[in-house]
Amino acid sequence: MQSRKLFNRISLLRIERNVSRKELAEAIGVNFQTVGYLEREEYNPSLDLAFKISEYFDFPVELIFSIKPLKPLSEELKELKNKIGGK
């Protein structure tokens, strides 16, 4: 079965938090090469791994992974803020 490509912000979040691939890999229990594959969007994680990553960064899973190309995080947060402000 050919699965859909998943886009993610792992690389962005990892660099922002100043975490190495090895540290992230140890925290989520995978090989550090797998982190590279995830960052290059060459491998789709399982649901369990996606939740582990979201728990590690303390971010909702839908802000890290998407089936559509991701917008810059600042733009996304601005939209979210407007949505909340509009209510």
Partner 1 sequence: MTQNKSQTNRKIGVVINLASLLVLMVIAEYTDKYDRNTVLIIIGLAALILILISFIFTYWKTKLWHFVHKPIRKLDERELQITGNLLRIAYAIFTVIALSVLLLFSLMEIQVSIITVAALIYFAHILPATVIAWKGWSWV
Contact 64, 53 (CB under 8 A): yes
Nearer to partner 1, 3 or 74 (CB): 3
The least CB distance from residue 68 to partner 1, in Å, is 23
4 CB-near residues (< 8 Å, 6+ apart): 44, 67
Cα(78)–Cα(55) distance, integer angstroms: 23
Does 14 bind partner 1 (CB under 8 A)? Our answer is: no
What residues from 23 to 62 belong to the interface with partner 1 (CB under 8 A)?
A: 29-31, 34, 37, 42-43, 45-46, 49
Find the shortest distance in angstroms from Cβ 14 to partner 1: 17
